[in-house]
Amino acid sequence: MKAPAFAYAKPRSLAEVCALLDERGETARVLAGGQSLVPMLNLRVAAADLLVDISGIESLRGVSVTADRLCVGALTSHREVEQSAEVARHAPLLAQAAPHIAHVAIRNSGTFGGSIALADPAAEWPACCLALDATILTISKAGKRSIPARAFFKGLFSTDLRPGELITGVEIPLTPGHRSVFLELSRRRGDYAIVGVAAMAKVQGGTLQDVRLAFLGGGDRPLLAVHAMKAAEGKPPLADLGPALAADLSPMADLDTSARTKLHLANVLARRALAALAG
Ligand X SMILES: Cc1cc2nc3c(=O)[nH]c(=O)nc-3n(C[C@H](O)[C@H](O)[C@H](O)COP(=O)(O)OP(=O)(O)OC[C@H]3O[C@@H](n4cnc5c(N)ncnc54)[C@H](O)[C@@H]3O)c2cc1C
Binding site for ligand X (CB under 6 A): 29-37, 39, 74, 101-102, 106, 110-111, 113-115, 117-118, 120, 123-124, 166-167, 192
- From the CB of 271, what's the least distance to ligand X, in Å? 23
Pick the closer one to ligand X by CB: 237 or 251.
251
* C-beta of 110 vs 251, nearer to ligand X: 110
- The DSSP result for 150-208, as a single string, is HHHEEETTEESPPTT-EEEEEEEE--TT-EEEEEEE-SSTTSPPSEEEEEEEEEETTEE
CA 176 to chain centroid, in Å, comes to 21
Per DSSP bridges, beta strands 7-9 and 50-53 are parallel
The maximal CA–CA distance of the chain, rounded, in angstroms, is 62
Minimum distance from residue 135 beta carbon to ligand X (Å) = 15
Kindly report the number of other CB atoms within 10 A of residue 232's CB atom: 28
Task: Please state, in angstroms and rounded to a whole number, the distance separating the CA atoms of residues 175 and 134.
Answer: 11
Using the minimum distance from each CB to ligand X, give the nearer residue, 99 or 242.
99
Q: Rounded distance, CA 117 to CA 46, Å?
A: 14
- CA 183, 214, 94, 122: dihedral to nearest 10 degrees? 70
| Chain residue at closest Cβ approach to ligand X | 110
Looking at the Cβ atoms of 196 and 237, the one nearer to ligand X is 196
Q: Which is nearer to ligand X, 105 or 226 (CB)?
A: 105
Quick one: how far is CA 39 from the chain centroid?
19
Q: Which is nearer to ligand X, 217 or 237 (CB)?
A: 217
Least gap, CB of 227 to ligand X (angstroms): 26
CB of 114 to ligand X, least distance (A): 2
Q: Give the distance from CA 57 to its chain's centroid.
A: 21
What's the min distance (Å) between Cβ of 231 and ligand X?
28
Nearer to ligand X, 35 or 175 (CB): 35
Report, in Å, the least distance between residue 255 CB and ligand X: 17
Tell me the closest approach of the beta carbon of residue 208 to ligand X, in angstroms. Answer: 27
The set of residues, in sequence order, having a beta carbon less than 8 Å from that of 137 and lying 6+ positions away, is 71, 144, 145, 146, 167, 168, 169, 170, 171
